[in-house]
Amino acid sequence: MWDEARNSQLFTRNALREAQHIINLAATWNMHMALRPGLDTLKSSSSKNYTCPDNVWVSDEIHDNIIQCDILPAEHPVCTDHLPIITTIDISPTRTDPPPRYNWHKVEWDLLTKDMATELAKLPVPHTL
């Protein structure tokens, strides 16, 4: 799902079995890859081969809030084999209108008391079950 076929060492029977656990978890929890599939995130220090072992997973709830998720090859630190990843997420709060609230200062208490008595009288008499 996220690496290239040329990296055959990642597609052994055991590796695929292990990857299936991650795939199942991602499906169960509605997780999405924020980093584009096939984006190289590691350069092997021995073979100089690029692979994609690093991923950024996000939940379904924030998936649409991802502004950017990419690697920064120009910022690759010395003596490391992983490329830095930058993720920008829009966390702006959404505006909502508060639900209307009762204005208890304007209550006509005599009317409310009368209406409550009428409605309560419609209920059955309490009894022990």
Half-sphere exposure of 75 (CA within 13 A, CB side): 8
In a domain, 54, yes or no: yes
Give the Cα-Cα-Cα angle 121, 127, 129 (nearest 5 degrees): 140
In a domain, 49, yes or no: yes
Distances (CA, A) of 98 to 27, 50, 66, 104: 35, 52, 27, 17
In a domain, 110, yes or no: no
pLDDT tens, residue by residue, 62-100: 999 999 999 998 888 888 888 899 999 999 988 899 999
Is the dihedral angle over the CA atoms 30, 35, 39, 40 positive or is it negative?
negative
In a domain, 51, yes or no: yes
Number of domains in the chain: 1
**In which band, very low, low, confident or very high, does the pLDDT at 106 lie, cut at 50, 70 and 90?**
very high
In a domain, 3, yes or no: no
Higher pLDDT, 106 or 9: 106
In a domain, 108, yes or no: no
pLDDT tens, residue by residue, 4-54: 666 667 678 888 888 888 889 989 999 998 998 778 888 877 777 787 778
109: three-class secondary structure by DSSP: helix
Cβ-contact 81, 44 below 8 angstroms: yes
**Dist. CA 109–CA 82, nearest whole Å:** 70
Is the entire prediction scored with pTM above 0.85?
no
Its domain, for residue 53, covers 8-92
**Confidence (pLDDT) at 6:** 67
